[in-house]
Every structure is written in structure tokens, then in C-alpha cells.
Homo-oligomer: A and B are copies of this chain.
Amino acid sequence: MGASKLQIHSKRLNDIALVAKVFAHPARVAILEYISKQKDCICSDIVDEIGLSQPTISQHLQVINKAGLLKGNFKGKSICYCINIKKFQEFQELFNSFFNKTKFNCC
């Protein structure tokens, strides 16, 4: 097969997995960290910073964006990617609630 059997799981479990997928590639973690560190949201140099080609970075940005983690703004000539802190916080809470729930019982 190759495709995940999403139907058999609850929306909650699928959601957790979807969010985790965003962080499941080091380039995406690096991109998020880099964006957050840029005080003035300079953007196009993510490519130089990370060391992957422009199309590849663009692809990773799309994945991050589809999860709702980006806010694009215009600042002069170039697009400014920013982190959607509200969503980011939501994701942190989703993980923490899963971690906390799971941390009990067993052995």
C-alpha cells in the first residue's frame, strides 16, 4: 500500500499526527526557528540560511503554511513570512495535552 489508513483513527489522533508531520523534517524545524529569530522578518535568505534550493524551501514553507503556522505580510518588495503564534501555541497545547494524558498508568 503506502498510504496511511486514516479512516480507522479518530479525528483527534489524525490531527496530532498531522501537526507532528510539520515538525518531522529538520528543514522545517530550522525554517520555523529561523523565521522566529529574525526580528524584522527578512525572508528570501531562508534559502541561503538553510542550504537547500529555493523550490525545496518553498515546498517546505507550503507544508508549514497548510498547517496554518504562517502569516504572510508584505514589507517593501519581498514577502515576509511570520509565525502564526496563535496556531503555534495551539499546537503546543495539543501536544502537551496528549503528553500529559499519556504519561500516566502502565508498569
Interface residues of A (CB under 8 A from B): 4-6, 8-9, 13-14, 16-17, 20-30, 32-33, 35-39, 41, 50-52, 71, 73, 80, 82-83, 85, 88-89, 91-92, 95-96, 98-99, 101-107
Contacts and interface: CB of A to CB of B under 8 A. Distances in A.
A90 B30 CA distance: 20
Contacts of A8: 50-52
Contacts of A35: 106
A30 B17 CA distance: 10
A39 B17 CA distance: 24
A98 to B, nearest CB: 7
Nearest to A32: B102
